[in-house]
Amino acid sequence: MYENSRLLIDSSNPPEPGQIVWRSPSNLAIIKYWGKHGVQLPRNPSLSLTLSASCTDTALAYEFREETDNRIDLEFLFHGEENESFRTKTLAFLESLTPQFPFLRQLKLRINTGNSFPHSAGIASSASSMASLALCLCSLEDALFGSLQDPGDFDQKASYLARLGSGSACRSIFPYASVWGATPAVPGSSDEYGVPAEDLLHPDFKDLHDDILIVSSREKTVSSRAGHALMEGNPFAEPRYAQAKNRMTRLVDALRGGDMDTFGKIAEDEALALHALMMCSNPSFMLLEPGTVALIQKIRAYRAETRHPVYFSLDAGPNIHLLYPGEIVAEVRGWIEEELKEHCVDGWFIQDWVGEGPEEM
């Protein structure tokens, strides 16, 4: 939808060197997206909560190149150090965007990025990293050409670009919550980009906590990209897509009505469905670890005993997202310290919550 752009820098009036910095949060999908087609298009709609503390900072420095060729000049740093694997992936992403951003070949680029949480461990680091990069690119376009002055246009293009880098990244552009994938439950939703879903939320869900219990900080044995690809041969794929579409309608109703119990049941059912799909793939794979299962059992027992609305979710990894309303934060945090930390690597957990979305630094 943004193909074949003619945005090129006038070499007779080159821009001054500059730098753009964006911080973008990760997000937690409640309705999971697992399976895609075409160019990063989802097989089913998804709905996520935008986090706050789990984020990526990306600084994009640029200067005009007098001599240009058919390549992108990129220096890439991750936490201040060269990372050739990440550079290669980022360069391929930027090269894929040259139909939208032909001016990238006219610039010398330097990207310095870093996370507040472990990458590739199932906390959607690709979502926050690609979202922050997409936001930098849209700010760069606007700085050079003044073409994205409208905030709605800016966010939509950023979400579209982020999706091309990582599907879930398109949902990290918006505050509080986002929907990606066309669904009758959310007018204006699209497969091409995420849309804001803050208006769907009862006030109780804007005060939701998500404490991430780090069962493992190791890089996943199977990437999410590879996991998505395995859905093409999964015998449960089509029933799964229908299930997700039906749950989306129920979840939207629960979010609007402040129905925490229905929300929590859907969150847990979706998390387990995601990992069941992994175990039914061919070849199958399992990202859960013994500590994950132990935590799930303790969460269920705690909820039954206390009647507190405390629920779990999982991304494509072993780490538990503990979801609960802010009004019981003191009690739940005490329980984490006493009962749950023993299952976390070095007692590590991240105190996170539903947040206000990306920020230009």
pLDDT for the residue 70? 81
Contact 97, 161 (CB under 8 A): yes
pLDDT for the residue 6? 78
What residues are paired with 75 via a beta bridge? 110
- Per-residue pLDDT tens over the stretch 97-131: 999 899 999 999 999 999 987 665 556 578 999 99
pLDDT for the residue 124? 59
Please, what is the average pLDDT of the chain?
Answer: 94
pTM of the model: 0.94
The Cα angle at residue 156 between residues 143 and 119, in degrees rounded to 5 = 85
Question: Among candidates 98, 87, 80, 79, which has minimal Cα distance to 8?
Answer: 98
Mean pLDDT, range 258-282, rounded to an integer:
96
- Per-residue pLDDT tens over the stretch 190-210: 999 999 999 999 999 999 999
Whether residue 2 is predicted with pLDDT greater than 90 in this model: the reply is: no
Mean pLDDT, range 239-262, rounded to an integer:
97
Range in 4-13, 154-163, 293-302 the model is least confident about:
4-13
Domains of the chain plus CATH, in order, are 18-200 (3.30.230.10), 203-350 (3.30.70.890)
Give the helix, strand, coil percentages of the chain, each rounded to 5.
Answer: 45, 25, 35
pLDDT for the residue 48? 98
